[in-house]
């Protein structure tokens, strides 16, 4: 009687080594080493092979369900869970985390991925060839270099308008050190985040940013001298260097953090039913703490390069807009299309032609400083121009168009080369 035995490649390899041992060509120890198993296990297989021949090599569990297979009720619960509309767009990793966190079902990411594929709610990604960018070594110490960037996105999806997420990411550890939702990527918004960061963490050695106009003047000066931005001027007060990258890949830590936030943070805001950016900013510290716990790495050095903030520094003054103006002989200062009167009891000769520091804060308040001493200012109102003089007394006069047969309509026109003569 003949029958067919189905064997795997692994089982065929074992049969070949077993035949060599039976023929005396190699020892049991050599065969066990080649198969990557112990001598004791090889002898058990050899005994079965001598007793049952080829059938003794085939796994006894072939055709039977795996002992690690999920129970049907758990499998069905997972499928019902991942089909919920609120989890639309979730990837396998985040879905597995939420499944364990919210439903108490602890399974592997691959188990969840297979269920998502079979349910048609996830498609396997095809890796595209990427341009080669040699990796830059991380800095060794926390606070040695902090990457910064802003990411415009519909963070609240259809529940609100687009906004910009400002992030500070440490180069050595990939930690998010500070973050804030803002309407725009502006100097005052970056200044507010810096003040929060300096108070909570400290003063870093250097910032690493792109060439956005808040950070760098991209047009050449008339005299060939490079100008600095208000942000650069403010950082110099703290002794912080500002390095501007030439490509997004150069500041890959913060770019990668932006991608992760655009995937995970949006879905966390959806699950928590957060509908305003004020609520989103209140939740952001909790998200950042969870992000750092999952994705941050240990630095090469345990030394932290952050310096403590000097409590005597006035951060609101430093992160206001600074400019210079000259007091006129009439004790006036012209700034931002407005005129301010200097109120003083001193003789005008002591202040006229003096250069003063002008500051404007986020609320638009203007102040003047002479040798570090504030001057009292009063904004002068501009007189309104007189109303336009009307040709008629009626203010709502509307000119009436001429009649159809008015001579004006044929003035200067010709018919067959001859002027048209009006009959009126």
3-state secondary structure 343-360: ECCCCHHHCCCCEEEEEE
- The pLDDT of residue 301 is 92
Extended strands (E) in 154-218: 163-170, 176-182, 206-209
Q: Which residue has the higher pLDDT, 386 or 164?
A: 164
Gap between the Cα atoms of 35 and 407, Å rounded: 113
pLDDT, one tens digit per residue, over 348-383 is 788 888 999 999 999 999 999 998 889 999 988 876
How many CA atoms within 13 Å lie on the side-chain side of 333? 28
H or E segment to which residue 243 belongs:
strand 241-244
Inter-residue long-range contacts of 381-384, CB under 8 Å, 24+ positions, other chains counted:
382/339
Gap between the Cα atoms of 114 and 69, Å rounded: 13
CA end-to-end span of the chain: 127
Strands 321-326 and 241-244: unpaired
Contact 229, 264 (CB under 8 A): no
> Which whole number is the average pLDDT over 75-94?
89
Q: What is the pTM of this model?
A: 0.67
**Residue 47 token pair:** 């005994």
Which of 50-54, 155-159, 258-262 shows the lowest per-residue confidence on average (mean pLDDT)? Answer: 50-54
Gap between the Cα atoms of 248 and 290, Å rounded: 25
Average pLDDT, the chain: 85
Strand order in the sheet with 332-335: 321-326, 355-360, 366-370, 373-380, 338-343, 332-335
Kindly tell me the sign of the dihedral angle through the C-alpha atoms of 219, 223, 225, 228. negative
**Residue 165 token pair:** 């997420």
pLDDT, one tens digit per residue, over 263-302 is 999 999 999 999 999 999 999 999 999 999 999 999 999 9
- The pLDDT of residue 222 is 47
pLDDT, one tens digit per residue, over 9-66 is 777 787 888 888 888 888 888 888 888 888 888 888 888 888 877 776 776 666 676 7
């Amino acid at each position: 009687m003949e029958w067919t035995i189905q064997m795997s490649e692994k089982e065929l390899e074992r049969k070949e080594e077993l035949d060599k041992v039976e023929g005396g060509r190699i020892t049991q120890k050599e065969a066990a080493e080649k198969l990557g198993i112990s001598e004791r296990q090889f002898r058990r297989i050899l005994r079965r092979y001598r007793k049952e021949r080829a059938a003794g090599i085939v796994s006894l569990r072939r055709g039977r369900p795996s002992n690690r297979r999920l129970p049907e009720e758990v499998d069905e619960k997972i499928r019902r869970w991942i089909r919920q509309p609120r989890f639309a767009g979730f990837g396998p990793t985040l879905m597995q985390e939420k499944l364990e966190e919210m439903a108490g079902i602890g399974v592997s990411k691959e188990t969840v991925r297979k269920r998502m594929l079979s349910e048609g709610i996830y498609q396997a990604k095809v890796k595209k060839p990427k341009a080669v960018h040699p990796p830059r070594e991380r800095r060794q110490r926390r606070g040695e270099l902090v990457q910064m960037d802003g990411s415009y996105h519909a963070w609240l999806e259809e529940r609100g308008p687009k906004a910009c997420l400002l992030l500070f990411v440490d180069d050595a550890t990939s930690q998010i050190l500070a973050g804030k939702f803002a309407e725009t990527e502006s100097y005052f918004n970056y200044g507010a985040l810096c003040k929060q960061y300096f108070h909570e963490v400290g003063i870093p050695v250097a910032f690493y940013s792109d060439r956005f106009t808040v950070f760098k003047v991209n047009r050449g000066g008339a005299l060939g001298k490079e100008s600095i931005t208000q942000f650069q001027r403010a950082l110099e007060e703290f002794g912080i260097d500002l390095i501007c990258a030439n490509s997004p890949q150069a500041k890959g830590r913060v770019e990668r953090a932006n991608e992760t936030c655009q995937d995970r943070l949006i879905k966390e805001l959806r699950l928590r039913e957060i509908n305003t950016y004020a609520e989103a900013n209140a939740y952001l510290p909790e998200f950042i703490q969870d992000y750092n716990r999952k994705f941050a790495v240990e630095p090469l050095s345990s030394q932290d390069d952050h310096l403590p903030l000097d409590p005597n520094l006035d951060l609101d003054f430093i992160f206001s807009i600074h400019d210079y103006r000259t007091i006129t002989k009439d004790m006036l200062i012209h700034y931002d299309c407005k005129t301010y009167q200097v109120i003083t009891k001193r003789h005008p000769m002591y202040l006229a032609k003096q250069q003063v520091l002008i500051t404007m804060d986020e609320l638009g308040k203007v102040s003047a400083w002479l040798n570090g001493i504030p001057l009292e200012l009063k904004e002068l109102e501009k007189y309104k121009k007189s109303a336009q003089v009307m040709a008629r007394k009626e203010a709502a006069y509307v000119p009436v168009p001429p009649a159809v047969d008015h001579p004006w309509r044929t003035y200067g026109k010709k018919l067959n080369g001859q002027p048209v003569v009006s009959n009126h």
